[in-house]
Amino acid sequence: MALTESDQPYTKTESGLEYRSLQEGQGEKPEASSTVTVHYMGCFEDGEKFDSSYDRGEPTTFPLSGVIPGWTEGLQLMNSGSKYQFKIPYELGYGEAGYPGVIPPKATLYFEIELISF
């Protein structure tokens, strides 16, 4: 499963996070202190997938305060039922060091995230 094709351009926030909506949901949006349940897939710039809750067959639940800054910021733009794509610069991802064995140093990351609930 690759990221969904979209002709819609990315919107860039002040921090450098880029996002685009593939599907809008309804209702409230989570806060930085919320715990969320999502389905997601992460890819590198070349399209290589490095992680996917879809591959594991179940969504993931976590506090927004415990993830990379790009996720914390990006998920607060969404409401339940939304599906967004994010282009996360390394400063909002795993930084200059990356995540050894998984994420290379200074990697720009692409995520497709579906917010199920919070």
- Note whether residue 2 is domain-resident: no
- Note whether residue 70 is domain-resident: yes
| Whole-number pLDDT of residue 2 | 76
| Whole-number pLDDT of residue 75 | 98
Structural domain including 78 reads 11-117
Strands (E), the chain: 11-12, 18-23, 35-44, 49-52, 60-63, 83-88, 109-117
List per-block mean pLDDT (blocks of 10 residues) for the chain, which spans 118 residues: 86 98 96 98 96 97 97 98 98 96 96 98
Provide the token pair at 94: 């795993």
- Note whether residue 6 is domain-resident: no
- Note whether residue 64 is domain-resident: yes
Domains in the chain, number: 1
- Note whether residue 5 is domain-resident: no
Residues 6+ apart with CB under 8 A from 26: 79, 80, 81
- Note whether residue 1 is domain-resident: no
* CATH classification at residue 109: 3.10.50.40
Strands (E), 25-77: 35-44, 49-52, 60-63
Catalytic residues: 40, 50-51, 68, 94, 111
| Whole-number pLDDT of residue 1 | 61
Q: What is the pTM of this model?
A: 0.94
C-beta atoms surrounding 94 within 10 Å = 20
> What are the phi and psi torsion angles at 83 (to 5°)?
-130, 120
- Note whether residue 82 is domain-resident: yes
CA distance 92 to 78: 18
